[in-house]
Amino acid sequence: MFRLSKKLQSLPPYLFVEIDRAKRKARAQGEDIIDLGIGDPDQPTPAHIVEALYKAAQDPACHRYALDQGMLSLREAISKWYKVRFGVDLNPETEILPLIGSKEGIAHFPLAFLDCGDYSLVPDPCYPPYKGGSILAGGKPYLMPLLQANAFLPDLKKIPPGIRRKAKLMYINYPNNPTGATAEKDFYKETLDFAVKNKIIVISDLAYSEMSYDGYRPCSFMEIPGAKESAVEFHSLSKTYNMTGWRIGWACGSSDLIDALGRVKSNIDSGIFCALQLAGISALETPQEQVRNMCQLYQERRDALITGLTSLGWQVKPPKATFYVWIKIPAKSNSIEFSKLLLEKTNIVVTPGLGFGKYGEGYIRMALTVPTQRIREAVQRLRQKI
């Protein structure tokens, strides 16, 4: 009866419907599901952050509308954190914008810069809002394949001149969801040169900067001289502090880009609950030991999964960062069929690669969000049933 907008109609299909349905059915039947599908930490938010929210929520000053651009004290805490972590200076007044989770900003950003028919350069496979946000803003995603042969980095030389001319935005995301790939400064330098030459804004998604292993420390796009003038970087408290449900993150970078995103947002939301912003400050001031412990936990799980899958003859590389393991399907099957087979035969939930884009076909993603013991059990089930 209602005619959907062309934009909504052209969003990529949600490919997890059947798997979601099968998962719910199996759960309802009392099956023992091992869910490696969702990128949502299983550990609780550290107690002192919960305590900070509890305390702040009792202050009536927190009950009113927040400022659109976030509390200055939060922006100062972000600026300090950034300086310590990456050695980058950010002006808390003009170069930082708190968000209701980084997804919100990532998806709204194209509204500030895309006109009908403009392109945004989007990696494929990717976190889905890069495509969705671009399409909802009237733009067209141009897919940059992330191929194993190129270490899951986009090959910028392959982007045709006609597309370069019409592209306004370019998304990059390292450490990467879903492939677990990482990028180094030489790739960032090449990307910045490309972006400046073609007048394209770089959107760096750094949601997984703190989740890394074996002593590896991801860098920020903002560390590249000149990046701050032509790029914006998105961060999240979700994964670093087990706060996915809280909804808090930020954008930082060029003051013009931050200002434009702020103008879009001021027409859409009215800021983040102040008590939550105060809890966010407490998170950023968390002794980083807690973050290191989190990494150690995921590293133990990663090692158990990689050792187990390798012993089954599966092709897997241990990721240096993120809590995702990107796995080539060890059978003549496609990713949806293989994920369904795993659920039916072993009660293990994984995410089919195709859900992240067409270049994700041939892979599945497993998230390290269950205890090591359950990972070992999952490997055991695979050994017996697949």
List residues binding ligand PLP (CB under 6 A). Answer: 39, 101-103, 127, 173, 177, 205, 207, 236, 238, 244, 249
| Side-chain half-sphere exposure of 133, counting CA atoms within 13 A | 26
Compare residues 134 and 236 and give the one whose CB is closer to ligand PLP.
236
Residue type present at position 201: I
Residue type present at position 62: C
The 3-state DSSP class for residue 146 equals: coil
| Phi and psi angles of residue 32, each rounded to the nearest 5 degrees, phi first | -90, 95
- The distance of closest approach from Cβ of residue 328 to ligand PLP in the complex, given in angstroms and rounded to an integer, is 21
| Phi and psi angles of residue 369, each rounded to the nearest 5 degrees, phi first | -110, 20
Instruction: Report which of 133, 115, 123, 124 is spatially closest to residue 170, judged by C-alpha positions.
Output: 123
Secondary structure (DSSP) of 332-357: SS-HHHHHHHHHHHH-EE-EEGGGG-
Q: What is the C-alpha separation between 156 and 249, in angstroms, rounded?
A: 29
- The distance of closest approach from Cβ of residue 176 to ligand PLP in the complex, given in angstroms and rounded to an integer, is 7
Q: What is the C-alpha separation between 38 and 46, in angstroms, rounded?
A: 21
- The distance of closest approach from Cβ of residue 381 to ligand PLP in the complex, given in angstroms and rounded to an integer, is 26
Compare residues 71 and 379 and give the one whose CB is closer to ligand PLP.
71
Compare residues 127 and 213 and give the one whose CB is closer to ligand PLP.
127
Compare residues 198 and 205 and give the one whose CB is closer to ligand PLP.
205
Q: How far apart are the first and last CA of the chain?
A: 45
- The distance of closest approach from Cβ of residue 109 to ligand PLP in the complex, given in angstroms and rounded to an integer, is 12
Distances (CA, A) of 121 to 4, 142, 296: 25, 5, 35
Distance, CA of 286 to chain centre:
22
Q: What is the C-alpha separation between 106 and 285, in angstroms, rounded?
A: 25
Compare residues 95 and 205 and give the one whose CB is closer to ligand PLP.
205
- The distance of closest approach from Cβ of residue 101 to ligand PLP in the complex, given in angstroms and rounded to an integer, is 3
Q: What is the C-alpha separation between 97 and 318, in angstroms, rounded?
A: 34
Compare residues 103 and 164 and give the one whose CB is closer to ligand PLP.
103
- The distance of closest approach from Cβ of residue 39 to ligand PLP in the complex, given in angstroms and rounded to an integer, is 5
Compare residues 262 and 330 and give the one whose CB is closer to ligand PLP.
262
Compare residues 46 and 101 and give the one whose CB is closer to ligand PLP.
101
The 3-state DSSP class for residue 30 equals: coil
- The distance of closest approach from Cβ of residue 197 to ligand PLP in the complex, given in angstroms and rounded to an integer, is 26
Q: What is the C-alpha separation between 102 and 124, in angstroms, rounded?
A: 19
- The distance of closest approach from Cβ of residue 237 to ligand PLP in the complex, given in angstroms and rounded to an integer, is 7
